[in-house]
Structures are given as structure tokens and as C-alpha cells.
């Protein structure tokens, strides 16, 4: 099946065709580095990592650029609050972002440009726009003339006639039109600034991405991504200034992921309802965050709450329990029943079809669970020494880990990860470990006394507290019931 992407500009799925055969250029708007990222910010990071992984699997050589906005009003205010220089503040949060990426086991981006390191590119870009009479300077400020770009609104579907003056734009007495946006701001006392033909100052937000994208990827790129909140005005303005600068179509495919909600509200710093990605990964686990954010299609809203987290834990428990069982069974043999081998091949195809259909991760994950169910059926119907079961275990592990690499999932040690999930749920459910251990001793004595009714009663009472017992030749072990969804 051919890869098809939903293009925000055309509002429909389109067959993907790169500008250069076998090569893909992808630019994604990165963080403004004045704080730790919340999990809504990580949705794009995790999703576009999967996009890059899948494109590479399809045989493309991908250049993935993610920028850092390391100068803007929020950064200046925060640096003043913390009594730090702007560069000290931004370097701290860039390092923190890179540490979080390491926790997520995500491949580093190919290029991570900073706005402050591209001032020459930005100034040159603005000079080019002025030379083409689509930008103008007034008292040290430079503005883009929106009316000069006849295709303005092509991405968002907004027309200037439909927009109210001043909507999502900064009012400024020197603007020719309320919709014109700033390319260069004159310096303010005590704030960082750079030299330019229009006097000392700093760039506006929109121009930095156009300049950095052009510097690293050229006039035209294949994919530009970000959250839906960037469609207007940021990406709309990027199109206007970039296409005026080059006289070429800027982006072939615009991809935007939807919001994360917390209860009934969009998660955002301004609303104060954010969950920091680092805090979530510390409380739970990076694997849980990745699964949670990929479990819903990227163009759909995702409501993050305790219930959804437990659902992700339950799903990962099913997969990793099967992987643990498979590891204990397999011996390197790959001879499985004909039906099982057909199922494995079918799962590979279904996942590929899901990802090729605008990265439909729910379809892909549903296919992975088909594989889990089929393997569990093999375990329940075949003897442990059955050669066909050993072969099925080998094929199952390979399949899950192969498919997991697209999502940067399912590569953890099964036993270690399941123990971590137990630790998480012991804390979440306030399980008294000492009490559980004492009940196990009491139950063991009851079994020695052949008081099986008491042993069963203890088992049932512990199950009500989300504790599952497993009796084996070497005694009884317990785990937390993680299937709470």
C-alpha cells in the first residue's frame, strides 16, 4: 500500500511523493525553551519520531530538523524572574529537553538549529523580502505586508475578509494594515539584541522558522509539522514569507497533531493545567508516555487522565507479559504452525497498512494485539516442550520488537519492565506490601494444614485489593492486577 498523508492545506489525504527520489526533508517546529516541556509538547516529539522511523523503513533518507526558539518575550521575562542571562536559561532548558529525549529512547534529530545562531540568515531573509516590496521598515521595525501575498489563508482556510482586525496579531501604530506581522523588532533597553540594517533588535517569531528551514533544507521541503495551534498564524505566515522570498511553493505536505486535553480543557501553560513530561516519566515510565500518546490517532484529541494512563499500563502489561512468556519458551527455533506463520505475516501487513494510511496507530496497535492473542492461544493449547510453540515464541518476539521499532516501543526487558509496572501500581493503589507478604505466609500455612477454604478466601481477599497470586512448584508469587480499565 502506498503511503498517504493528510495534508492540512488540501484538507484531504494525498499520496506521498518526495521532491527528490529516496530523500525526505522534514521540518518540525520545536520548543520555546523557557521551561520544561509538558506532555502536550511531547505529542509532536513522539509522533514525528514515528514518522521519521516509518519513512526510513520505507527506504527514504530523512533529514529531520527541529528548531529551538531561544529568544522571545517569554524567555526574556523568565530569565529576569530567575535572575539569569537569556543564554544561561535557554541552554539549561535545551539540555533538559535533550535529557528527556534520551529517557524516551528517541533517535536524536539530524539538525537542531537555534534562532540566536541564525541571525545572519534571518537578516538576509528579511532584506530579500524588503527588496521584493513585500515587507517594509518603519522606525526600526520591519513588517510583512500581508495584502501583498494573494494566497494568504491557503493553509488555515481563513480569508482576511472573515477575520476581525487585530485577531491574534500584535497591534502596532506603524503597521500599514492590522494583519501585517513583525519580522524585526527594535531593541529595548536591557534586552538582548543583534545588529541589522534597521538598527539593533531581534527577530519576530515567524521569520525565524522560515530562515532556519531555508538555511538547512533549501527553498522547498517535503513535510512541515507541528501542533494545530500553529496553523494560524505561525504556519500561515511562514508560507507567506517563504514563498515570497523564493517564488516557489514552500511545503508539499503540512502535518498537524491535535491537542491534548486535561479534563474539559486544552492542556496549556497559560491555563496552568500542565503535566510536565519529565514529571510524568518519573511518576510512571517513558514507555507509558509513548504508548499513551500514540494510542490515539494524531489528528484526534487525546484526553489525558488517570483512567487513560491505567489503560496504557494495562495494554503494555498484556504485551510485555506475552514477551516475558515467549522469552522463557523460545530456543532459537523458528518453526511454527502454518496458521501461526500466516498470522505473523498478516500482522506485519496490517501494521504497514495502518501506518501507510496517514499513520493510523490505533489500527496498527489493534493488529499487534491480534498477535498477542494468537501467541497466548499457542501457549494455552500446546505443551511447553512443543517444538512448534518454541518456534512461535521466537517469531512472536521478533515480530513485536520489529514493529515496536517504528514507535520506539516494546524494546524494554520484559521482566524488568513488568516489575516497574508493579512498583508503579503498588504506589498508585496504596497496596501495603507488608500486609500482602503476611497474608502469603498465612495462606502457605493454611495450604500445609490442608485448609484449602481459608487459602482460597485469602486469595479472594487479596484479589479485591488488586493483588494476583500465582502458585508454582517453587512457591507462590504475587503481582499487582494492572488491568483496571
User: Within this chain, do residues 436 and 368 fall inside the same structural domain, yes or no?
Assistant: no
Which pLDDT band, with edges at 50, 70 and 90, does 484 fall under?
confident
Q: Assess whether 328 and 227 both reside in one domain.
A: no
C-alpha–C-alpha distance, residues 129 and 340, integer Å = 62
Per the structure, the complete domain to which residue 440 belongs is given by 429-480
Please tell me the number of Cα atoms within 13 Å of 403 on its side-chain side.
28
Reference 114, options 140, 99, 93; nearest CA is 93
pLDDT band at 167; cut points 50, 70, 90: low
Measured distance CA(291)–CA(247) in Å, rounded:
41
pLDDT value at residue 165: 45
Which comes out higher in pLDDT, residue 280 or 163? 280
Flag whether pLDDT at 168 surpasses 70.
no
Per-residue pLDDT tens digits for 45-87: 999 999 999 999 999 999 999 999 999 999 999 999 999 999 9
Q: Are β-strands 302-303 and 260-262 bridged in parallel, bridged antiparallel, or unpaired?
A: parallel
Q: Please indicate, yes or no, if residue 267 is contained in any of the structural domains.
A: no
**Are 180 and 211 a contacting pair, CB within 8 Å?**
no
Taking only the tens place, the pLDDT of each residue in 83-100 is: 999 999 999 999 999 999
Domain end residue (candidates: 368, 384, 415): 415
Q: Is the pLDDT of residue 472 over 50?
A: yes
Is the domain of 382 the same as that of 440? no
pLDDT at 163 over 70: no
Q: Residue 262, by phi and psi: left (phi above 0), alpha (psi -120 to 50) or beta?
A: beta
Does residue 251 lie in a domain region?
yes
- The Cα 242–Cα 458 span in angstroms is 70
Note whether residue 210 is domain-resident.
yes
The CATH number covering residue 203 comes to 3.40.50.620
Q: What is the pLDDT of residue 262?
A: 78
pLDDT for the residue 274: 80
Given this model, what pLDDT does residue 166 score? 44
Q: Are residues 395 and 456 in the same domain?
A: no
At 474 the pLDDT is 73
- 144 shares a domain with 13: yes
Provide CB contacts within 8 A for 191, sequence distance 6+.
76, 202
* 362 grid coordinates: 490505533
Let me know whether 388 and 451 are in one domain.
no
Note whether 300 and 43 are within 8 A (CB).
no
Residue 246's Cβ-count burial label (10 Å; 0-12, 13-18, 19+) is middle
CATH number at residue 382: 1.20.120.640
Residues 241 and 204 placed together within one structural domain of the fold: yes
Last residue of a domain, one of 188, 223, 257: 257
Same domain, 156 and 198: yes
pLDDT exceeds cutoff 70 at 268: no
Dihedral angle, C-alpha 334, 340, 343, 348, nearest 10 °? -10
Domain assignment of residue 287, yes or no: no
Does 68 reside within a domain?
yes
Residue 272 domain-assigned (yes or no): no
Reported as a single tens digit per residue, the pLDDT across 277-326 is: 999 999 999 999 999 999 999 999 999 988 999 999 999 999 999 999 99
What pLDDT is attached to residue 173? 79
Does 351 lie in the same domain as 461? no
Query: 403 and 446 in one domain?
Result: no
Average pLDDT, whole number, for the chain?
Answer: 94
Q: Are residues 304 and 381 in the same domain?
A: yes
Q: What is the pLDDT of residues 103-162, one digit of tens each?
A: 999 999 999 999 999 999 999 999 999 999 999 999 999 999 999 999 999 999 988 777
Residues, the chain = 485
Confirm whether 264 is domain-assigned.
no
Q: How many structural domains comprise the chain?
A: 3
| Residues 317, 213 share a domain | no
Angle at 134 between CA 130 and CA 135, to 5 degrees: 50
Write down which residue in 257, 282, 312 finishes a domain.
257
Q: How many other CB atoms are found less than 10 A from the CB of residue 434?
A: 7
Specify if 277 maps to a domain: no
pLDDT tens-digit readout, 183-194: 999 999 989 999
Amino acid at each position: 500500500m502506498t503511503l498517504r498523508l493528510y495534508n492540512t492545506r488540501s484538507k484531504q489525504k494525498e499520496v506521498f511523493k518526495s521532491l527528490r527520489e529516496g530523500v525526505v526533508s522534514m521540518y518540525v517546529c520545536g520548543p520555546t525553551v523557557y521551561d520544561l516541556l509538558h506532555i502536550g509538547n511531547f505529542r509532536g516529539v513522539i509522533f514525528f519520531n514515528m514518522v521519521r522511523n516509518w519513512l526510513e523503513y520505507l527506504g527514504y533518507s530523512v533529514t529531520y530538523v527541529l528548531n529551538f526558539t531561544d529568544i522571545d518575550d517569554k524567555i526574556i521575562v523568565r530569565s529576569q524572574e530567575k535572575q539569569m542571562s537569556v543564554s544561561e536559561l535557554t541552554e539549561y532548558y535545551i539540555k533538559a529537553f535533550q535529557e528527556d529525549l534520551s529517557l524516551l529512547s528517541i533517535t536524536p534529530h539530524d539538525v537542531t538549529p537555534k534562532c540566536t545562531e541564525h541571525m545572519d540568515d534571518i537578516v538576509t531573509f528579511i532584506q530579500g523580502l524588503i527588496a521584493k516590496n513585500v515587507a517594509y521598515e518603519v522606525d526600526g521595525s520591519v513588517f510583512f505586508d500581508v495584502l501583498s501575498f494573494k494566497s494568504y489563508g491557503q493553509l488555515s482556510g481563513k480569508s482576511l475578509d472573515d477575520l476581525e482586525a487585530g485577531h491574534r496579531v500584535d497591534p502596532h501604530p506603524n503597521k500599514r494594515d492590522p494583519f501585517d506581522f513583525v519580522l524585526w523588532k527594535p531593541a529595548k533597553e536591557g534586552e538582548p539584541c543583534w545588529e541589522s540594517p534597521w538598527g539593533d533588535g531581534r527577530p519576530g517569531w515567524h521569520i525565524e522558522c522560515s530562515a532556519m528551514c531555508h538555511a538547512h533544507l533549501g527553498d522547498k521541503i517535503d513535510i512541515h509539522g507541528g501542533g494545530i495551534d500553529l496553523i494560524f498564524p505561525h504556519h500561515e505566515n511562514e508560507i507567506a514569507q517563504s514563498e515570497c522570498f523564493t517564488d516557489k511553493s514552500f511545503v508539499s505536505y503540512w502535518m498537524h497533531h491535535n491537542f491534548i486535553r486535561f479534563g474539559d480543557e486544552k492542556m496549556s501553560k497559560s491555563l496552568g493545567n500542565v503535566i510536565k513530561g519529565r514529571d510524568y516519566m518519573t511518576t510512571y515510565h517513558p514507555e507509558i508516555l509513548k504508548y499513551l500518546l500514540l494510542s490515539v490517532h494524531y489528528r484526534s484529541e487525546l484526553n489525558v487522565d488517570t483512567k487513560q494512563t491505567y489503560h496504557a499500563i494495562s495494554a503494555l502489561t498484556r504485551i510485555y507479559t506475552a514477551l516475558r512468556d515467549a522469552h522463557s519458551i523460545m530456543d532459537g527455533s523458528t518453526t511454527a504452525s502454518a496458521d501461526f506463520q500466516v498470522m505473523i505475516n498478516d500482522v506485519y501487513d496490517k501494521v504497514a497498512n495502518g501506518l501507510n494510511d496517514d499513520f493510523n496507530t490505533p489500527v496498527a496497535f489493534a493488529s499487534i494485539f491480534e498477535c498477542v492473542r494468537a501467541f497466548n492461544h499457542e501457549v494455552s493449547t500446546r505443551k511447553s516442550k512443543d517444538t512448534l510453540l518454541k518456534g512461535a515464541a521466537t517469531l512472536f518476539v521478533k515480530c513485536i520488537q520489529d514493529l515496536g521499532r517504528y514507535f520506539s516501543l516494546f524494546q524494554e526487558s520484559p521482566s524488568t519492565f513488568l516489575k516497574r509496572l508493579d512498583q508503579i501500581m503498588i504506589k498508585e493503589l496504596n497496596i501495603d506490601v507488608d500486609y500482602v507478604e503476611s497474608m502469603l505466609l498465612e495462606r502457605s500455612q493454611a495450604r500445609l494444614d490442608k485448609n484449602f477454604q481459608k487459602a482460597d478466601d485469602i486469595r479472594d481477599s487479596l484479589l479485591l485489593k488488586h493483588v494476583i497470586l500465582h502458585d508454582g512448584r517453587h512457591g507462590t508469587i504475587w503481582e499487582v492486577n494492572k488491568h483496571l480499565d
